[in-house]
Structure 1
Amino acid sequence: MQPDDTICYCFHVSKRKIVNYIRVHRPRRASQVSACGGAGTGCGWCIPYLKQYFAEAQGERSESADALTPEEYAAQRAAYIRAGKGVPAQGAIPLPDEASGDEGASAPAGQ
């Protein structure tokens, strides 16, 4: 994942914003990273990644989320949501196939 890639799809929070928030505000607990634009308070998908970035800032070694491409990350989040493990916040970035308008299309007007 690159610095400008989205980590929290519910509240449109980038990796850069999260890493800078941790660096500047020095939260004492990983849960305090949610003060960065609400990250982690929507569907919950990004919480493990927020914890990883927090651990890395504390000097701990952790499995890096950077190995995923943005497309893989989005696809895994979509699978998480479809499995019923979280509900995206209102205004969240749509799931990959919803962005094209394929899913949930309404009937033509007048029907």
Structure 2
Amino acid sequence: MSPALELDDTICYCFHVSKRKIVNYIRIHNLKRPSQVSQCGGAGTGCGWCVSYLKRYFEAAAATNEPGNESQTAEEYAEQRAAYIAAGNGTPPAGAIPLPGTSAPDADSIA
């Protein structure tokens, strides 16, 4: 079994934002509201899957000045996001990291 989400694991697949970027952004910018985390590379403004995680990291930083810790792996996180998207809860923007088991469209099909 892989370790829980690490700092370099992707949290916002739509805009390629890692946990490290989010945690550092919260710490450096001394955010006052969870919604301000979206200023970190647009995190949380695509399909919406990561919003609960962004809130969790904000709340953890506000309470302890430590990043939030999860018990799930990066793979489990990606699979849960795929299920969230498949259920019609959000639509990833163009350029988002592909869902597990799919591939990115090739450049010829976009043009």
Bin the TM-score by the shorter chain. Answer: 0.7 to 0.9
Find 1:69's aligned residue among 63, 73, 78: 73
How many residues end up aligned between the 2 structures?
Answer: 99
Residue 30 of structure 2 is aligned to residue 26 of structure 1: yes
Residue 7 of structure 2 corresponds to 3
Structure 2-normalised TM-score? 0.84
C-alpha displacement of 1:68:
1.0
* Residue type at the aligned position of 1:93: I
Which structure carries more relative contact order (alpha carbon 8 Å, separation 6+)? 2
When Rg is computed on C-alpha atoms for both structures, the one with the higher figure is: 1
Contact map agreement 2:98 2:104 (CA 8 A) in 1: no
C-alpha displacement of 1:98:
0.7
Residue 84 of structure 1 corresponds to 88
Structure 1-normalised TM-score? 0.84
Residue 46 of structure 2 is aligned to residue 42 of structure 1: yes
- 5+ long unaligned stretches in structure 1: 107-111
Q: Percent same amino acid at aligned positions?
A: 66
* Residue type at the aligned position of 2:13: Y
